Amino acid sequence: MPLRTRRLLYLGTHQLVTYRWQAGTLHDEGRFIAGPEGYAAFAAYLREHPHSVYRLLANVAEEGFQSETIPYLHGRDRQVVVERKLGQYFFGTGLTCAQSLGHEKTKRKDERLLLCALTNPAFFAPSLAALSAAHAALAGIHSVPQLAPLLLRKLRIGNPRCLLLSIQDQSIRQSYLEDGELQFSRLAPLQNSSQAGIAQAFAAEAIKLQQYLTSQRLIGRNQALTAYVVAHPAAHKSIAASCIDTPSLSFVVIDSVDAAQRTGLKEAPRDSFSDRLLLNLLHSTPPAQQFASDDLRHPYHLDLLRGALLGGGALALSACLLFTGQQLYARHETQAQSADLRAEALLARQRYDDIARTFPPLPTDSGALRRII
């Protein structure tokens, strides 16, 4: 059976881009514009690569985030409650997931959850239909905000409350994190992709997000926040000129080239766009939570089962070969010992015959002696 190649799908507002990951490098394999022709070309691409495992990273504005608290539960009971909460908040979409934010420090130990959803399933329908028709092994559907906590942990940035801003697919992604966990995220279009335009957009969107979080009472009024901005070194000067610190909002620039090296991406970014940085992070450390249903992941589960069976068969075969080798070695040792014993017995017989020939001759034969006795 051919080895499964890992491929990444990046789905933006206007196009879907496919990548093949190999040894820390992302190889761009195709770009498919949203529309009938693009969907047909994507279906043909899937048919050309039947032995691949896919992960889809979505960067869309139609997202929903809702904080919720549930009782302290385990197993099936917890799953039923979580599914009911997701259905209440995000009715009509199957692309949902729940992120645990830990338990409250009370006697009840209620669990805090962040309920997430991709709220426009029609946008994903053509791509998912092509994947289903090709019986492609879809490992999961993820969104860009899910990678924000992973990126900060990789860079060893620990801040109780902070913003993370990045650029990908002609848009600015702004995420709010608290104690290293995602709390909220939004997407804004990037009107000007020049260095000055990017810097001004970072400054404006960070202030807008801070005001929104304050209005939603997710943070206190005038509460100090740090905004981490992922940008190429060439844009640092423009960002420093536009992103001016205030008493409640300070800016810290994350060097995208340094971040790529620290997250294992061998190809250094050429600009401030973080698409490849996030895709490499998705490949190396995929989030445990994802949006695809079990039906969408059925071929992937079959692939895992097939791999487990093949691995178990290979292990059993190895054990049998090892046991056979041990038995052959033991048989060889036994044969060698038997040959040694036969040689020793023959040598002892020869020695006895030599000694017997030195005995004096009897006066009569043995038959006469028996008669006399």
Identify the three-state secondary structure at position 117. Answer: strand
Between the CA atoms of 260, 265, 268 and 269, what dihedral angle is there, to the nearest 10 degrees? -70
**Distances 176 to 110, 151, 155, 228, 252 between C-alpha atoms, Å:** 23, 13, 17, 10, 15
Here the tokens at position 118 are 């991709």
pTM, two decimal places = 0.83
The per-residue pLDDT of the chain, averaged, comes to: 89
Residue 362: the pLDDT is: 64
Q: How confident is the model at residue 193 (pLDDT cuts 50, 70, 90)?
A: confident
Higher pLDDT, 120 or 3: 120
Per-residue pLDDT averaged across 116-127, rounded?
A: 93
Residues 320-325, mean pLDDT to the nearest whole number:
90
Please count the other Cβ atoms lying within 10 Å of the Cβ belonging to residue 291: 22
Task: Read off the tokens for 20.
Answer: 């093949």
Residue 9: pLDDT band (50, 70, 90) is very high
Q: Is the pLDDT of residue 2 over 70?
A: no
- SS3 state at 73: coil
Distant-in-sequence, close-in-space partners of 308: CB < 8 Å, separation ≥ 6: none
* Residue 1 banded pLDDT, cuts 50, 70, 90: very low
Residues 6+ apart with CB under 8 A from 68: 85, 89, 112, 113, 114, 115
* Highest mean pLDDT (candidates 162-166, 299-303, 335-339): 162-166
The two structure tokens encoding residue 81: 């409650």
- Please write the tens of the pLDDT for every residue from 62-78: 999 999 999 988 888 99
Q: What is the pLDDT of residue 357?
A: 76
pLDDT of residue 3: 58
- Which has the minimum average pLDDT: 135-144, 209-218, 306-315? 306-315
pLDDT the model gives residue 204? 93
